[in-house]
Structure 1
Amino acid sequence: MKRIRSAAARPATVTAMLASLALLAGCAGSVGGSGSDSEASAGEGFAADASQDEIDEALADLDPVTLKFQPSAMSEKSILAPNGLDVKKAIEERSGGKITVDVVWGQAIASYDDVDDALADGRVDLAFTLPSYTPAEYPAFDALGTAMSTLPSSPVASDLAANAAGVQTAWETPEVLAEFEDKDLVPLIPMLAAGGYSTMCSEPMTSADDWKGQQIRVGSSAAGKQVTDLGATPVSLSFPETYEALQRGTVDCDLGQLAPNVEAGTFEVAPNIGVASDAGIARSAGAIVAGRKYSELPVAYQQVVFDAMSTTFSTMMEVVIGAKAQAVEQAKDNDGSVEPFDDDVQKQIATYAKTLSDKTAQKADVADVPSTLSSAGEEWQKTVTDLGFDDKGDFASLDEWYPEDASYDDLGDALFDTVMAEHRPE
């Protein structure tokens, strides 16, 4: 079972790097806001590396509780389902069965437009949200998501480093945290950038001329600006409509993460994948947040939930990177191609990504975010390498060299210990 492990059980490679990574960790603090000071939240907690017996003792006198969790997956059979199932298992087992997690699939209680309100009013207790969908309400978060486009892109290593750096930078940026708190939400993982973006097209699109005049479905205004800079026309279209639009030729490409397109069967109609390496596309990033009920829980219960965020991170990475390998396989099965963008296209993407990132950060009054993210990215790239998560080949052969049993638990542990532990409820 995937969960936070004690220091004694942690591999020496992870333990050895914690001190250097801690130098980059941000200001200390804890989640939960004023709720952790309330009578309902009172009580003794336990250490993050506590044994199960110690946890059971801390929870012994607490009443059982049920939490409604709305993850990103549409159903229990979804390729994204582990993002809900693994977290449920981690919380329930760590609590000794005192916490029951009721997983709600497919945004059945609240759509992404409504989930913030649902968390605040108690209809949902834990949820994956998409603040990138409302940049006017989350300008600092949007600036960080846009800055993600300036980081290197590769099938495995760079995505792992970028996601860890995104979590760290979000925790270190008070303006990002304040945007959640202003909505009475408790950030548990204040940014999950998930997988890098690729183009999925009906015909190959790698050269600068290939981009000219293409109709490309995008999921954010920042991505739309990047597409426009390359001479294409961005199209705002809901994801469920994209398959048919590609089939009919209404749009030429989808620009987004590969995981949901694996599930949607996109590569049947758009089997040609284009990938970047020097920089990428601004991501429609998400976050894991808690609502009113979490803030009212005893501190030991809050700690159980918060500690499971290591599992949330590692599972998300296993899902999105594993889906890349499936996407490559599906593209090939449909006589498609997997090719990097030409050098001049990559250079143009990188140049505009920096310009857009700086402008977005300045507008949100978080001008330091791009440099903070860059520094964190470099350090996490070293950690990823030390843990042995380097790319073993290129993107086009990912389906051949990516291990089916890949696990990023060690990276989740390192991220928790060096970044998240300072924000643990207490």
Structure 2
Amino acid sequence: MKILVVGKGGREHALVRALAESPSKPELFSFPGSEAIFRIAAPTTATDLHSLIGWMKDNGIDLCVAGEESYLVKEEGLANLCERAGIPCWGPPKQSAQLEASKEFAKEFLFRHNIPTARATAVSSLEGAVSAINGEYPTVLKFDGLAAGKGVAVCPDEASAMEFLNEVFTEKRFGEGRVLVEQCLTGPEVSIFAAIVDDRYLIFTPARDYKRALEDDQGPNTGGMGAVASRQLISPDLLDLIKTDIVQPTVDGLRNDHLPYRGFLYFGLMLTPTGPQVIEYNCRFGDPECQAVMPLVKGDLAAFCLAGAQGHLQPELISFDDGWSVCVILASAGYPESSRNGDVITGIEDVTEARVYHSGTKLTGGQWQTNGGRVLAVVAGAADREGAVTAAHAAADRISFDGLQRRTDIGILHF
């Protein structure tokens, strides 16, 4: 079996490693990949999406796994191009991936299918946003398009709202797009991941991530400073409620709206006092939740994804560890506003009892250096949360580089 994974970050590194550990022992490739990923998966000669399709056809690729969201909606769409070429793709076509690519599309889908979510208004100007907020704080502002996890702002007051709105409408930080002005929900968050194959689904291990840059959930939003995952994270009764009120109606809605779906679907949920509500959909695994969840997946993930892409949900191919997994992100100087590259990383080779996934690194003269905002994800597991927390932070302690940023309360806060 030949599998190509599309993407280059820590999420894709975790996916590639999990696929490599599958008993079916697939031959792995990656595009665009990274130097760390290329230690497990071979590179391609492709330079863009169209040449990638040609390369996959020429090299007999059996399965394409979509890791990075942008390729699902870029040009004609990765899954759409794969379908035309006769290559099974674990990832949805472009029209279905609008659930992530457009916050407005997702909100209309949620309203249409009576799936619990916050009320919201779409606006196309700064003035329209101010009118929609109408002085009610806190409020949530969401850029309508893809923004690498940075297009959402929870604004406690007018000053923070105006800062975000100026970034969107005046500075065009994320490009052209509208904004959703959304009711601010309260409660703990949880990430639910479903492998969807047409009208069937399988829930993977729930997770919770930490978005704020600083301890105690302070500081600016980031792409994620860490995550914790476990089947014990929420109760069986709550998971059943989420399946009944959110996951099943979503799967039914996709079918009713003629939106084909084969791949991972992420449900970002807020557990409000009145029940779980959808904050957002992502049409792939979350990052860094993927790094926390993948070590808990047992069995043949490669065979599972291939069967799913071919239209067959086969849950018997995989199982899930009942323990805990904790992921600690090591970020570079300046993150999230910027990132400093070129700082030498030491200590990776000293981590032997945990996994280290590379998010933003480069290899120069035989040394790993920083090359992005989120640099590494250090992940450890144990039968209980306390053991996983201790192991993950102890492993993270062994790695250092100038300007390193890290939260020491990952897996501790909110428990």
TM-score under structure 2 length normalisation: 0.29
Larger helix percent? 1
| Greater RCO structure (CA 8 Å; 6+ sep) | 1
Per the normalisation by structure 1, the TM-score is 0.28
